[in-house]
Amino acid sequence: MTYTIQDFQTSLFEPTLFRSDLEGVLLETHFPIDMLLRAAAFRRSLIMTGLTRFNTVGGAWRRPVNVQRVILVMGQVETDASLRLGEHSIRSNLALLKAVCQSHADAYIVYKPHPEVWARMQAQGQSPKDLQLWCDECVPDVPLAQLLPKVNEVHVMTSLAGFEALMRGKKVCCYGQAFYAGWGLTSDMVPMPSRPRQLSVDELVAGALFCYPGYMSRFARHIKVAEPAMTTLPPVTNWRTAPRSLSARTRA
């Protein structure tokens, strides 16, 4: 699918006119049963291995006792294109935390900053010192795979963590136009009439991880499907020196 500069400029003012290739896949693809079984098996394997986008090594976290509802709020790089170009009013981590805190005063709110922001590899965003005033706990060093099983809900702007939470059966609330929002799986703060289709979690996984991307080795240069890509990934502790590191590439 090819877009012109005029299409892109128009989408800045009317985002619903601009449809990404991934959205097209999720809207139009018929997912056969064998693919959905593959997706379910892949999702189970991903959960069992504890694989997430940022497999950081960090400390342990214990859910507070006598707390009925714990909400995990995911920080994001505020210069992310999905925040700059999306049709939504909340575009900062502070605004997200305030919205969650004000709407869910009865919940225990845990905030996880984006790893690259916390490590100062990306801009700190608006009022970073005020973030901890709007949460009960900040957990920058706790891996996401350890947090997700212990919380009730995950609230995001467009963070990929929302997709990871859906795959683990968590309730997800989206305040932006994430690729996984609008399909009947999330609680959406932004209407998305361009996505009238209802998807199951495994249909979403099949579209986003099987149909849309291609996988390749940095060294062997040959295309891989999702399952071998996951099983041959090197341990996170030695990825720089591993002889076979795989990555996903989106199709042009």
Q: pTM for the whole thing?
A: 0.80
**Same domain, yes or no, for 204 and 159?**
yes
Residue 12 lies in a domain: no
**Same domain, yes or no, for 225 and 201?**
no
Residue 11 lies in a domain: no
Cα 181 to Cα 187: distance, rounded to the nearest angstrom: 8
Give me the pLDDT at residue 7, please: 36
Q: Is pLDDT above 60 for 144?
A: yes
Residue 242 lies in a domain: yes
Average pLDDT over residues 137-159: 93
**Same domain, yes or no, for 82 and 130?**
yes
Residue 8 lies in a domain: no
* Closest among 57, 125, 131 to 92, alpha carbons compared: 125
| Pair type for strands 213-217 and 223-224 | antiparallel
* Per-residue pLDDT band at 15 (split at 50, 70, 90): very low
Q: Which residue has the higher pLDDT, 127 or 111?
A: 111
Contact 238, 223 (CB under 8 A): no
**Same domain, yes or no, for 126 and 249?**
no
**Same domain, yes or no, for 129 and 230?**
no
Phi then psi dihedrals of residue 193, to 5 deg: -65, -15
Q: What angle do CA 252, 76, 128 make, to 5 degrees?
A: 150
**Same domain, yes or no, for 52 and 129?**
yes
Residue 230 lies in a domain: yes
Q: Could you tell me the CATH number of the domain that includes residue 104?
A: 3.40.50
pLDDT digits (tens, 9 = 90+) for 188-213: 999 999 999 999 999 999 999 999 98
Domain count, the chain: 2
